[in-house]
Amino acid sequence: MKKLLLIAAVAVFGFTNVNAQDDSSSSALSEGSWLVEANTGFGGVDAHSANTGFGLFSFDDVTVWAIGAEAGYFIMDDLAIKAGLGYNDFDGASSFTYKLGAKYYVASQFPVQLDVTGASGEDVFGDETPLWLGLQGGYAWFVADNISVEPGLRYNMSLNEDYTDEGVLEFRIGFALHF
């Protein structure tokens, strides 16, 4: 009998949690709402990984840190157009990064993002202006009506053969505010 009550309680809690998450995400992801997001990235520790999030890496006696954020506007339910800016410091040499793209929430829970990220900084890149095509996917966990935590994977593919032909795979955790 105790097992049956425990299973029933877990089922009721699970059903209530799913319904609450569906209700909160549908209003947070509706047309006309805004998104402000900050990401952390793990992986992609060399200079060709432009960053519009927060990061701190150290490799080969070089310290790299980054700060940035992204914002988006929902042009329709579950689809946001996004832009981001970032500042990166490569052991004294600095660069600025920008990102333009779109983010779609499949079933209002699974964000998929496609974007172009660029960087500039003479001390870091020389005469190059590197560009990357990024693809990101994950899960949106709404901890409140307007706050989501979004872990996921991101792949940055270089669009510059002269600069680098390498791609970068990252694990990311995003924190988003929805207005």
Domain annotation for the chain: domains and CATH numbers: 2-178 (2.40.160.20)
CA distance 157 to 142: 29
**104 — pLDDT class (breaks 50, 70, 90):** very high
> Within its chain, how far is the Cα of 5 from the centroid?
40
What is the maximum alpha-carbon separation in the chain? 73
Average pLDDT over residues 64-89: 94
Average pLDDT over residues 60-89: 92
**77-103 burial, b for 16+ CB within 10 Å, e for fewer?**
ebebebebebebbbeeeebbbbbebeb
3-state secondary structure of 39: strand
For residue 25, is pLDDT > 80?
no
CA distance 152 to 78: 17
For residue 89, is pLDDT > 90?
no
Q: Are 38 and 72 in contact (CB under 8 A)?
A: no
pLDDT in tens, 142-151: 999 999 999 9
Query: What pLDDT, on the 0 to 100 scale, is given for residue 163?
Result: 64
7: left (phi over 0), alpha (psi -120 to 50) or beta: alpha
CA distance 131 to 109: 29
Secondary-structure percent of the chain, ordered helix, strand, coil, rounded to 5: 15, 60, 25
